[in-house]
Structure 1
Amino acid sequence: MATFDYAEMQATAHELIEEFGQAGVVTRITPPDPVLGGEPVTTPYTATLVPMAYEARYIDGTNIRTCDMQIYISSVGLAIEPTVGDVVTANGTDYAIVNGDPNKYDDVTSVVFIVQGRK
Structure 2
Amino acid sequence: MSMKIRLARGGSKKRPHYAIVAADARMPRDGRFIEKLGTYNPLLAKDAEDRVKLNVERVQYWLSQGAQPTDRVARFLEAAGLKEKAVRNNPKSAQPGKKAVARAAEKAAKAEAAAE
Question: Which TM-score band (shorter chain)?
Answer: under 0.3
For the pair shown, the structure with the greater C-alpha radius of gyration is 2
Higher strand share: 1
Normalised to the residue count of structure 2, the TM-score between the two structures is 0.19
More helix by share: 2
TM-score (norm 1): 0.19
Structure with the bigger RCO (C-alpha within 8 Å, sep 6+) is 1
